[in-house]
Amino acid sequence: MSKKKFIILTTVLLSVLALIILLFGAVFCLRKQNVVIVDGASIPYSSQEIIDTAKLKNGKSIFALDKQSAIDRIETTYPEIKVVQIKTTSVIAIEIRIRLRIAMYYSIQNDNYYILDEELKILEVTKEDSSIQKLIKINNGLEINSTAKVGEFIGTTDFSSLTDNLFTAMFTQVDTIEGENADRDDIKEIIDSIELTDVGYDVLTINTRAGVVIKIGKPNENINYKINVCFVIYNKLALGEIANGDNTHGTIKYLFDSEGLEIIGYQA
């Protein structure tokens, strides 16, 4: 191929490539944004306020959107909102899926009541709140700095990762016990309080409102499986399927002896 033909061919190819890039940019750019409330709750902000806070500008490539920064901006501006997902629904549109954060836990520290959701985000700091009786108390193992404010996540690594896994597992188990789709109120009606005890957070204690205590050893290892085992036993207690069992007393254990062997069962 002569040098002249090569230059012509290269020029044509570059022109075609530039045209493709231009068309790609014109077609695959953000033009439409919708806000969807996934739980149907009433959000005290308009869709436009949420979209403006996200700062995902129309006209930008749909593939170059910084969704995580948008999520952070929304959740920082509106602490009571959880962004479930920012979903690309077409080559020109996105859907910002949100829900209200729901109070799950409370902890009494620094002469304050800290109201927390399942991700241990502070929803409220108050001196007293009668509604806490409907929440799950965190008795021990969680440290909250006295300067912590509404909208902040509690940074205790051991506890925050544990409660997240606990919550996920509990959703499955309460669903099984109730025989229908579980919600957060179902979980709160069963669990009264949780705590981490012993050196190195070796034991998770779950105190049920019925009176049965559940103790789980090494909770940061396979917590979903261990909770499944313990709540199968709890369910059998509730149904009267355990001889000499009492669903208002006793301890369900998934612990370990000094040699690391599992101790699983119910003790009245």
The domain boundary, picked from 70, 100, 130, lies at: 100
Are residue 148 and residue 86 in the same domain, yes or no? no
Which helix H or strand E contains 113, and what residues bound it? strand 112-116
Are residue 137 and residue 258 in the same domain, yes or no? yes
Q: Let me know if residue 46 belongs to a domain.
A: yes
The domain boundary, picked from 100, 132, 162, lies at: 100
Contact 205, 194 (CB under 8 A): yes
Q: Let me know if residue 4 belongs to a domain.
A: no
Instruction: Say how many domains are in the chain.
Output: 2
Are residue 128 and residue 89 in the same domain, yes or no? no
Q: What is the pLDDT of residue 153?
A: 86
Are residue 111 and residue 134 in the same domain, yes or no? yes
Full residue range of the structural domain in which residue 65 is found: 27-100
Are residue 141 and residue 233 in the same domain, yes or no? yes
* Helix residue spans in 86-183 (DSSP H): 157-178
The Cα 106–Cα 127 span in angstroms is 12
Parts of the chain with a pLDDT under 50: 23, 200
Q: Let me know if residue 17 belongs to a domain.
A: no
Q: What is the pTM of this model?
A: 0.76
Q: What is the pLDDT of residue 236?
A: 86
Q: Let me know if residue 14 belongs to a domain.
A: no
The Cα 103–Cα 185 span in angstroms is 10
Q: What is the pLDDT of residue 166?
A: 73
Q: How far is CA 120 from CA 162, 173, 199, 208, in A?
A: 11, 21, 22, 20
Q: Let me know if residue 19 belongs to a domain.
A: no
Are residue 201 and residue 109 in the same domain, yes or no? yes
The Cα 232–Cα 100 span in angstroms is 31
Q: What is the pLDDT of residue 42?
A: 84
Q: Let me know if residue 33 belongs to a domain.
A: yes
**Helix, strand or coil, per DSSP, at residue 192:** strand
Are residue 61 and residue 185 in the same domain, yes or no? no
Are residue 122 and residue 238 in the same domain, yes or no? yes
Q: What is the pLDDT of residue 13?
A: 67
Q: Let me know if residue 83 belongs to a domain.
A: yes
Residue 157: burial class (beta carbons within 10 Å; 0-12, 13-18, 19+): exposed
